[in-house]
Amino acid sequence: MKRKFLLARETSEINLARAKNDSSDILLNIYRGGPNSKSEKSYDSYRVPVSRWTTVLDALLYVKERLDSSIAIRFSCRMASCGSCGMKINGIPRLACYTKISELGTDTITCEPLPNFPLIRDLVTDFQQFFNHHKKIQPYIQNTHLDPTMERLSEFKQTPEEVDEFLQFSYCIKCGLCYSACPTVATDTKFPGPQALAQAYRYFADNRDDSAQKRLDNVDHKHGIWRCHFAGSCSMVCPKGVDPALGIQMLRGHLLSITKKPKKKRAELREINREGS
């Protein structure tokens, strides 16, 4: 559904032309400016040749290499693994390396910096606030039953079913697309954002962690989990299928005491940790 929503019709004339000739030109508009720029937004436009598999990042790097080396872009892995190249492409936050020109269905592409992040310059934004929100939810396993002397080391036992409870949320690459798409983040500076809240659930659901109540108390405040209204935009834009909206609603279910951790699992965790110590 998400791909159908984001993809324009592949049978458009532009794509047919590309498929036949394997190359055509697009107009790439790139936002230029920094925090001290005048209030008017300014874009520089470039004609870029593209072929069937050209990504937006390829087009941006073509411009940087051959037309205007002053453009500020952040990128790294080029394969949707590092999350560095997030930007607003034709109005929607996407990864530039993961977005093909052909899937946008138009030959005018507009690249802007990710919204809701402080602007450094052009397409580069500051992620410090985003990382601060992530740190606040304590993104690490906390287990008070561990033997502090470490004399009797033992692995945590997890069944595949227990791993599946949290695995998809651990695939987050911290690209910030969800934070950009969220309507609450658009106005609420204290809201942690979908990424941090989904990670709060990731650690809550992990049976190696025993700080469940502390994690729930951490998000139960007036700018916490309750300011999520399930607008679903975070899950719509997530490139890794993390589905942060699902994690947040599951955490909320636990807060409302509608969903509970099975007693059997809690007893098993206590048993496992007793064996280890």
Q: Which of residues 130-169 bind another protein (CB under 8 A)?
A: 164-169
**224 binds another protein per the rule CB under 8 A:** yes
- Cβ(212)–Cβ(121) below 8 Å: no
In the region spanning residues 69 to 128, those forming contacts with another protein, defined by CB under 8 A, are 91-92, 113-120, 125-126
- Assess contact for 78 and 31: CB atoms under 8 A: no
236, 269, 272, 273: which one contacts another protein (CB under 8 A)? 236
- 30 binding another protein? (CB under 8 A): no
**Kind and range of the H or E run holding 109:** strand 108-112
- By CB under 8 A, tell whether 2 contacts another protein: yes
Residue number, 56 or 228, with CB nearest to another protein: 228
Instruction: Give the up-direction half-sphere exposure of residue 201: CA atoms within 13 A in the CB hemisphere.
Output: 31
Q: Give the C-alpha separation, 3 to 7, whole Å.
A: 6
Residue of 30, 239, 272, 273 that binds another protein (CB under 8 A):
239
Candidate list 230, 270, 271, 275; residue touching another protein; CB under 8 A = 230
Among 97, 238, 269, 272, binds another protein (CB under 8 A): 238
Query: Is 122 in contact with 29 (CB distance < 8 Å)?
Result: no
* Minimum separation from the CB atom of position 54 to another protein (A): 19
Q: Of the candidates 101, 109, 205, 272, which one interacts with another protein according to CB under 8 A?
A: 205
Q: How far is CA 255 from the centre of its chain?
A: 24
Under the binding rule (CB under 8 A), the answer on residue 199 touching another protein is no
Among 66, 135, 214, 221, binds another protein (CB under 8 A): 221
CB of 205 to another protein, least distance (A): 8
Q: Are 232 and 262 in contact (CB under 8 A)?
A: no
Binding residues with another protein: total (CB under 8 A): 71
Q: How many helices (H) and strands (E) does the chain have?
A: 12, 7
Which residue(s) pair with 110 in the sheet? Answer: 29
Instruction: Please say which residue, 36 or 144, places its beta carbon nearer to another protein.
Output: 36
**DSSP label at residue 55:** B
Under 8 Å between Cβ of 62 and 86 = no
Judged by CB under 8 A, which stretch of 46-54, 58-66, 184-192, 269-277 contacts another protein? 184-192
Show Cβ contacts of residue 180 under 8 Å, excluding neighbours closer than 6 positions.
Answer: 86, 88, 93, 114, 115, 116, 117, 237
Within 254-273, the residues that bind another protein by CB under 8 A are 255-256, 258-259
Give whichever of 11 and 36 is closer to another protein, judged by the CB atom.
Answer: 36
Three-state secondary-structure class, residue 12: coil
What part of residues 37-76 is at the interface with another protein (CB under 8 A)?
39
